């Protein structure tokens, strides 16, 4: 009897532990509220700023920009949404729609989402990780001329209201 209870308890525990890894994409986009916020830092030595909306309504939108004192601003939009029950991230560099990048890996515990499209030129992979309460890391990677390349953007939570800095 006791052995039966222990086995049954282990089955229930393992089922609960595995449930996190079995989130469907509809649940995952709701869970990605950790991405929301106004973030700033540097990318390749230039100031970089990104704003991510909440997942309310089943969609996350973002706008980001890289800028310098004497250089034109690079900007990009991103849209995270369900397409045919698959969570995809679609970038819009300089406002132009790019390819869709389906979610290939998600960790609720680590607050990490990885999107990949191996048929795209560069980048092929986008990884978003909330590394602490006030830090977000974005890694874009892929191949350029047959060589593996990776670019990291380290961002801090920006408490200033967007557009109101003086």
Supply the pTM of this predicted model: 0.82
For residue 5, being part of any structural domain is answered with no
pLDDT digit string (tens) for 94-147? Answer: 999 999 999 999 999 999 999 999 999 999 999 999 999 999 999 999 999 999
The string of DSSP letters for 84-130 reads TTEEEEEEEETT-----EEEEEEETTTTEEEEE-TTSSS--EEEEEE
Higher-confidence residue of 161 and 111: namely 111
Of 56, 54, 52, residue with least CA distance to 40: 52
Domain of 79, CATH number, reads 2.40.128.20
Structural domains counted in the chain? 1
For residue 11, being part of any structural domain is answered with no
Per the structure, the complete domain to which residue 138 belongs is given by 23-157
d(CA 32, CA 75): 23
For residue 71, being part of any structural domain is answered with yes
For residue 110, being part of any structural domain is answered with yes
For residue 91, being part of any structural domain is answered with yes
For residue 165, being part of any structural domain is answered with no
Name the least confident of 43-52, 106-115, 157-166: 157-166
For residue 8, being part of any structural domain is answered with no
For residue 66, being part of any structural domain is answered with yes
pLDDT digit string (tens) for 51-85? Answer: 999 999 999 999 999 988 777 789 999 999 999 99
Indicate whether 38 pLDDT > 70.
yes
């Amino acid at each position: 009897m006791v052995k039966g209870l222990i086995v049954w308890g282990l089955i229930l525990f393992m089922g609960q532990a595995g449930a996190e890894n079995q989130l469907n994409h509809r649940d995952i986009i709701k869970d990605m509220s950790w991405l929301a916020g106004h973030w700033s830092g540097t990318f390749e030595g230039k100031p970089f700023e990104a704003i991510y909306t909440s997942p309310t309504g089943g969609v996350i939108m973002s706008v980001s920009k890289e800028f310098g004192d004497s250089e034109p601003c690079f900007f990009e939009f991103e849209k995270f949404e369900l397409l045919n029950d698959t969570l995809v991230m679609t970038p819009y560099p300089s406002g132009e729609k790019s390819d869709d990048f389906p979610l290939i890996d998600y960790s609720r515990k680590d607050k990490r989402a990885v999107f990949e499209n191996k048929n795209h030129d560069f980048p092929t992979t986008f990884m978003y990780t909330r590394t602490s309460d006030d830090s977000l890391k974005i890694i874009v990677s892929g191949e350029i001329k047959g060589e593996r390349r990776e670019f990291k953007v380290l961002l801090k939570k920006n408490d200033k209201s967007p557009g109101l800095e003086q």
